Amino acid sequence: MGARCDACKHVMLPPQSVCGQCYGYDLSWIELSGRGKLLYASVGKHRLMGLDFIQGTVKLEEGPLVPGMVIVDDFDFSHPEKIWDYNVANISVLAEIVKNPLGVESIAFRIIEPGK
């Protein structure tokens, strides 16, 4: 869920109590589609969990930018440089709620349309 300004329709995630664009206080909840584009991604090991994973920045189709884990089922973590290919392609992603390795229910993005 995100917040949308009743006046200017600006969408915010995380939800805020004041519109970051027109400063209005009248906001409504909005269910976000979860669809977006992967703008950038890096790969590394979570130092506390000792877990290799991909972290990306996604622009949702409603507008907000969201950082989060990216799920690429067949990614070869022994070649982290291969993440470059995912940065230069125009990749569509879809959010899903997963229980991450920290045990927290979180947003992750699964690649759905490589190159489109």
Site for another protein contains 1 (CB under 8 A): no
Alpha carbon distance 116, 36 (integer Å): 11
Our CB check for another protein shows the closer of 74 and 88 to be 88
Site for another protein contains 53 (CB under 8 A): yes
Query: What tokens were used for 21?
Result: 């664009």
With the CA atoms of 61, 66, 67 and 73 taken in that order, what torsion angle do they form, in degrees rounded to the nearest 10? -40
Site for another protein contains 30 (CB under 8 A): no
Site string for another protein, 90-109 (x = CB under 8 A): ----------xxx-x-xx--
Alpha carbon distance 57, 13 (integer Å): 13
Q: What is the CA radius of gyration of the chain?
A: 16
> Binding residues for another protein, per CB under 8 A?
14, 39-48, 53, 55-57, 59, 65, 67-69, 80-81, 83-84, 87-88, 100-102, 104, 106-107
